[in-house]
A = this chain, B = another copy of it.
């Protein structure tokens, strides 16, 4: 294939791994640095880094570098976009 849905799927992939969901849940209470996330989540540092990359690339999470640290936070417009996509794909059309 390789169509519009490929792009949509990429967004939803952000949400279909339990480690990523856990990270998102941690970010709901505000920006967190990678080292804090690492303490809470049960994976090694390179694995977390990999998941953060997926979250950032899907637009759901923002990264802010500050000295040695990387601070992550929910990207509100990215989250909005995900919600809109979900609406788009699940809403029943009027003229059924």
Q: Which residues of A contact B (CB under 8 A)?
A: 1, 3, 5-6, 8-9, 12-13, 15-19, 21-22, 24-25, 28-30, 42, 60, 74, 76, 79, 82-83, 86-87, 89-93, 95-96
Is the CB–CB distance between A82 and B74 below 8 Å?
Answer: no
In whole angstroms, how far apart are the Cα atoms of A45 and B18 in the complex?
A: 30
Number of copies: 2
A sample of 13 cross-chain residue pairs with beta-carbon separation below 8 angstroms, ordered by A number, consists of: A1-B19, A5-B25, A9-B16, A15-B15, A15-B16, A15-B89, A28-B91, A28-B92, A28-B93, A29-B93, A60-B90, A74-B90, A79-B90
**How far, in angstroms, from A76 to B91 measured CA to CA in the complex?**
9
Assess the A82–B90 pair: CB atoms within 8 A.
yes
In the complex, A70→B17 CA distance in Å?
Answer: 30
Contacts A86-B82, A93-B29 given; does A22 touch B5 at CB 8 Å? yes
